[in-house]
Structures are given as structure tokens and as C-alpha cells.
Amino acid sequence: MIRDGTVFDDDHLPNEIVGRNSHMNQVTTALTPIERGSQAENCFLFGPSGAGKTTVARAAVRELRREVLDIPYAYVNCWQNYTKNAVLECLAQDLVDAAVSRNASNRELTQTVQRQLDGPGVVILDEVDQLQETAVLYDLHQMSGVSWIAVANREIDLFSGLEERVRSRMSVGFRVTFNAYDDETITDILDRRAREGLGSGVVSRDVLTRIARLSDGDARTAITALRVAARKSTDEGLSMIPERIVGKSILAAGEEVRRKTISKLNQHQRVIYNVLKNDGPLIQKDLYKQYSESHEDPLTLRYLRQKHLPKLEHYGLVETDRSAKGKLYQLVKPNRPEHQPELS
């Protein structure tokens, strides 16, 4: 039933970006100066998970590179490359195709990029709110020719804790805000993925609409659920995806997305997750105490509270409650009855 499995991959970039025309126009407008050989405006994309931010960023750069074929470009996943050195290393390797020594300093990497970048270039900083040192944006702002598209969930999480002087300089640029997809748009997205990735006539519009409704505005979960449903149908020897397996496919997709999210946690987030897994629920004071004892180089409570705990909450791994002793943290239990969609 699945003709092309890559259509359902997280990093698949479709030819047509559904439901985000105005967002695409804003980002491409920010990048337009590059077509004239000038540095582009920095651009910030904010919104919930699964709302198409990264897809729009990559599609806008794809359009730019169709106009300017040799424009230097780099993609940095800041969840994986969250230190200043890691970001600069990605830029040196991908933006200017430089051979980088294993122990190159930040200064050496910066000089390499500046020396070898001939004209404007653009960088996508995905999950930019995961940067350990958000002020690295200030350093990029100082690089002649380098413009960025920064992707994050919330602006407050990105700029919290910065000095006003630094914030005012590095936060200049376009703001593009994404809301969660509505059911009709997700249905259209699924329809196009089904046409590309599945055999002809294997899923009805009604089934796609049900998947969209149960995905709660998250296109990533919906696309994963469609793939899961196709595999379940194949395992049952069916030629079409029946509506009765949609609910179970949504649950399985949610678990798959959850596992992928957990696998991406950085060292600090993973320690927090494991502490709560083993000893939660915990009030903030006790959580920080156990985290500090478990991590060889712990961050301050303030930094943890501003950066990592909100991220774990946003991705549905951790939830909070109020207790007599203060804020209480615990892991979100997967597939809890009150969070389960109605099963067919």
C-alpha cells in the first residue's frame, strides 16, 4: 500500500506548501535582498509544534536557491547542536564548505566563515530556543553577509534572560507567527501525501478528515498516523484504509512522535526526564536537587526554569501542577484515558 515511504518522513519537503501562502510570502520577502546581492533581513518563525514552521523555512530557501543557484546555505538543528561551537562548526562546514579541525575554537570558526563567505548567505536555525547560549545570534548578527531564519515555539523562551542591549540588537527582524493548522488544512495536507506516497484510491476523504480531527492541529502527528494506518491495513491484507483503525493509528503515531522527541533530548533535559521517570512527581526544589546530583555540570535553577522545563512541557513530556509545597512536576503518562481519542 505504501508506494513511497519518504513522503511520510519528518524531513520530507513537499513541492507544494499547503495552507501557508501568507507565511511563505513573508519569509520570501525577507530573503529578497539576497537576489540583489545584499544581506537579507533576519526572520523569526514562532508557533506550536507541527504547524509547518520548519517546512516553510526550508521551502523559502528552496525558492531562493532557484533564483540564485549558488547562494550559500546551512541548516542547523539547535536541539542537537546547542553550543556556540557546534553552531559555528555547522556554519563553517555547510555555509562555506570549510575543512574544520576537531578542536577549532569559536574565534577560529568565526574567522573561517567571515574569510570564506563571499557575498550573502542564509542559515536556518531550527529549534533555536534550545541554544545554550542564545547570544550566539548576536555573533551571527555581526557576521557580514549572514542572515538567519530562526525557528522556535515562543519568543519569550528564546529571549528570556538576555541583557536588554543584546536583545535589542539581535531581535531585529521579521516576525512570522504560526497558529495550529485547522482540520481542513490538515486534511488537504494528508490528501497530497496520500496521493504521493500511497497507491491510488486507498484512502477516502472521510478517513483523512477523521485523522485530521484527532491530530489536534499537529500535522506531524497526522502524517505519522496516516503512515501507521497504511501499514496496519497492509498487515490485515486490506486494499483500503478503514475508518475503524484511525483511532488506534493516532495513538500509535502519538507514541512514535513521543519516542522521537525523547531521543532528541539534550543531556540536561534527559537527566530531568529520567529523574521524573524514576522519582516523580517532584516539587521544583527537589527536582533541581536531584538533577544537580545526577549531572556532572548542572545548570542554574533559573536557566533550567527558563529554557529546559518549558521545552519539556511544550513537547508534552512534562506537566505541572500546584501543591501545598509549590510547583509540582511530573511526566505526562502516554495514552492516558482523558487524552485518548475515541477508538473506532
Torsion angle of C-alpha atoms 109, 111, 116, 117, degrees rounded to 10: 90
Query: pLDDT per residue over 277-319, tens digit each?
Result: 999 999 999 999 999 999 999 989 988 888 789 889 988 899 9
All residues at 6 or more sequence positions from 194 whose CB lies less than 8 Å from its CB, including other chains: 202, 203, 208, 226
Nearest in space to 39 (alpha carbons), one of 183, 204, 173? 173
Query: pLDDT per residue over 9-66, tens digit each?
Result: 999 999 999 999 999 999 999 999 998 888 898 999 999 999 999 999 999 999 999 8
Q: Which domains does the chain have, with CATH numbers?
A: 20-177 (3.40.50.300), 183-261 (1.10.8.60), 265-331 (1.10.10.10)
Whether pTM > 0.85 for this model: the answer is: yes
Q: Which helix (H) or strand (E) holds 75?
A: strand 73-77
Query: What CA–CA distance (Å, rounded) separates 88 from 146?
Result: 12
Residue linked to cell 515555539: 153
Calculate mean pLDDT across residues 64-93.
90
- DSSP code of residue 333: P
CB 185 within 8 A of CB 19: yes
pLDDT at 217 over 50: yes
The cell numbers describing 30, all together, are: 525577507
